[in-house]
């Protein structure tokens, strides 16, 4: 197993365990706060955990009340991409690293029955949990598909909006992720994601000193690297807004960008097989 494959397997195991804990009714063993699953022990010890909201707390009470308790319990993100995605009825939305499905289910309600919300995740346990949550919520305009965010199992130019919640930092090949987002977006489409970013003065070694890869720290891009990566993939109007410090020089952030072109109202498409 290569180092990159080992990192991916560590990520998969961590989130498989989180899903299994929720299914077993013991979510607090992993998911009591964002710090439990996405922050290292030394960050918690240094007091940053007090500044990091529970993943569920990043959503309004109204949003949480719409969902099964298992979907809320499995919220492991660092933001609320639904709050910044500006979703409209009839749109097709893709959530990268959809986990227990909280953002997909909320997106599905925003876009209505004339729209569609897809979730992509590489963890079988999370997919099982997400599909169960969709059934419990009675939401039918959703589909959860197995795949990686570096190789999204959807056709070219098939979605209007891409969202993600504290997942891109975990990727072992971020240029591939940005290229895939650009590929699946229709002309005029956009991304609105929550993620972890580093201040530009921190080099990779300094980021790793502040936390591990699975803890969402070591793999975080700097703000400049994030901006450059999106621009290289073809995005315009890139904005990166840090929102909350999670470690020294490390922040949660809202990232927005557009794919040039006029939005089309193409026929909704199903995931490609494979």
Residue 138, domain member (yes or no): yes
Q: CA torsion, points 71, 73, 77, 82, in degrees to nearest 10?
A: 40
Residue 21, domain member (yes or no): yes
Which CATH number fits the domain that encloses residue 220?
3.40.50.150
Given a cut of 50, whether residue 269 has pLDDT beyond it is no
Overall domain count for the chain: 1
pLDDT score recorded for residue 81: 82
Q: Which domain holds residue 120?
A: 3-258
Residue 248, domain member (yes or no): yes
* pLDDT digits 0-9 by tens, 216-250: 888 899 999 999 999 999 999 999 999 989 999 99
CB 152 within 8 A of CB 129: no
CB 237 within 8 A of CB 257: yes
Percentage, residues of the chain above pLDDT 70: 71
Given a cut of 60, whether residue 253 has pLDDT beyond it is yes
């Amino acid at each position: 197993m290569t180092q990159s494959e080992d990192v991916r397997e560590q990520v998969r195991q961590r989130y498989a365990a989180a899903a299994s804990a929720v299914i077993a009714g013991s979510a607090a063993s992993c998911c009591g706060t964002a710090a439990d699953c996405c922050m290292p022990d030394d960050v918690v010890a240094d007091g940053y955990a007090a500044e990091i909201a529970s993943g569920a707390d990043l959503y309004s009470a109204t949003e949480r009340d719409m969902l099964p308790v298992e979907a809320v319990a499995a919220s492991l993100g660092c933001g609320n991409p639904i709050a910044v995605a500006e979703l409209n009825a009839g749109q097709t939305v893709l959530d990268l690293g959809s986990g227990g499905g909280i953002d997909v289910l909320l997106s599905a309600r925003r876009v209505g029955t004339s729209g569609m919300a897809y979730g992509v995740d590489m963890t079988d346990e999370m997919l099982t949990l997400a599909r169960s949550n969709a059934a419990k919520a009675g939401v039918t305009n959703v589909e959860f598909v197995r795949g990686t965010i570096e190789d999204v199992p959807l056709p070219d130019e098939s979605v209007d909006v891409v969202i993600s919640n504290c997942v891109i930092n975990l990727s072992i090949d971020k240029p591939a992720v940005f290229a895939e987002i650009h590929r699946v977006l229709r002309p005029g489409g956009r991304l609105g994601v929550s993620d972890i970013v580093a201040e530009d003065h921190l080099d990779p070694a300094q980021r790793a000193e502040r936390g591990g890869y699975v803890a969402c720290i070591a793999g975080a891009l700097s703000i400049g690297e994030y901006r450059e990566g999106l621009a290289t993939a073809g995005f315009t109007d890139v904005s990166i807004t840090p929102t909350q410090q999670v470690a020294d020089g490390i922040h949660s952030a809202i990232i927005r960008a557009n794919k040039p072109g006029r939005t089309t109202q193409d026929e909704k498409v199903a995931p490609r097989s494979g």
